[in-house]
Amino acid sequence: MAQVARVDEHLAEIQRAATRIHGHVRRTPLLRSDIAAGLMVKPESLQVTGSFKARGAFNAVLSLVEREPGIAGVVTHSSGNHGQALAYAARAAGLPATIVVPEGVTPAKIAGIRSFGGKVVTDGVTYDNREEIAEAIAISEGLRLIHPYDDWDVIHGAGTSGLEISEDSRPGAVVVPIGGGGQISGIALALAVLSPETSLIGVEPAAADDAARSLRTGILQTLPSDPKTLAEGVKSKSVGLRNFEVIVGDGLVRDIVTVSEDELEDAVRVAWTRLKLAIEPTAALALAAYLNGRVPSGSEEHPTVLILSGGNFDPATVAALLSS
């Protein structure tokens, strides 16, 4: 009973998040695909700032302003999408935002952060030290740190896509890219109550399989420094502690599967040429798992839903994939 009550409380927070961010984010569609009758896709690439991250960023910023009016600003670390989303949400709330980004991140994502008014810090930043640098800036400049995934407000905001899925369909499975685990945790908390028969499945690159190992062992696993994968959006060192609690502790994610780099590249080509959706490689993880038989095929009545998490791609990278 304690776990049921806890999940119900999280659902209430996700519903409050949906009300809070309404008008700031888009309700993305659930689309049928001609790839298979039992397949649907939810293109968060059509979301404001080009990724699902806008949901959590707006909920976190607006919640923070409600609790602490007059704060000096916000800071985060990001591989690009959360940084863009937080800069955009902070600007809407009239706050400055500082985004700590590892050197070598897709230039388009850095340009996006700056276009939304964010201050970008990259000098000396790596995937290993970005969190520590962001924490140091928060202390030295009196800013509030908004973690990209290990934050309940971010998780509850991300979960609003789960509300939309439950209203639009009765899926047999929902398949979600997983890095830090914020998106899949939020969706899992929503669907655990609203669609308990739905299986939640995460997807990672084989080169960045910490979440799969964490689920399998029941112990939080970490990644080596900067794993080599095209899916830069899921190169978090580990799943967040709150996310681990939902995914492993509460058992709300049925499985986490992996795909190879070749499979991921092929899925990008399929998304662009057959789905006609301009997505980034990270967003093709769920499609790669589907195309290679690692997740259920679904039915028209109970489809498999793939979350296409973002569309902030590097044009040169995608052009090379499409021409190969």
Domains of the chain: 2-51+152-323 (3.40.50.1100), 54-145 (3.40.50.1100)
The pLDDT, as a whole number, for residue 323 is 93
The pLDDT, as a whole number, for residue 4 is 60
Query: Above 90 in pLDDT, residue 225?
Result: no
Q: Which residue has the tokens 């706050």?
A: 95
CB-based contact 46:28 (threshold 8 Å): yes
Query: Above 60 in pLDDT, residue 2?
Result: no
CB-based contact 154:240 (threshold 8 Å): no
**Cα–Cα nearest to 103, from 130, 82, 81, 84:** 130
Strand, coil or helix: 203: strand
- Which alpha helices (DSSP H) does the chain contain, by range? 2-21, 53-67, 81-92, 107-115, 130-141, 152-158, 160-168, 182-194, 210-217, 241-244, 261-270, 285-291, 315-323
Residue 99, strand partner residues = 76, 120
Structure tokens, 294: 């690692």
Q: What is the pLDDT of residues 28-43, one digit of tens each?
A: 999 999 899 999 999 9
6 pLDDT band (50/70/90 cuts)?
confident
The pLDDT, as a whole number, for residue 65 is 96
5 pLDDT band (50/70/90 cuts)?
low
Query: Rounded to an integer, what distance in angstroms lies between the CA atom of residue 292 and that of residue 288?
Result: 6
Q: What is the pLDDT of residues 146-186, one digit of tens each?
A: 999 999 999 999 999 999 999 999 999 999 999 999 999 99
- Give the CA angle between residues 184, 186, 192 to the nearest 5°: 95
224 pLDDT band (50/70/90 cuts)?
confident
Query: Rounded to an integer, what distance in angstroms lies between the CA atom of residue 95 and that of residue 42?
Result: 31
Average pLDDT over residues 18-36: 96
Query: Above 50 in pLDDT, residue 1?
Result: no
253 pLDDT band (50/70/90 cuts)?
very high
**Which one-letter DSSP state was computed for residue 234?**
G
* pTM reported for the whole predicted model: 0.96
Structure tokens, 229: 């994968």
Provide, rounded to the nearest whole percent, the portion of the chain with pLDDT above 90: 91
CB-based contact 292:261 (threshold 8 Å): no
Structure tokens, 268: 């990008």
Straight-line distance from the first to the last Cα atom of the chain, in angstroms, rounded to the nearest whole number: 54
List, by residue number, the catalytic residues.
Answer: 53, 79
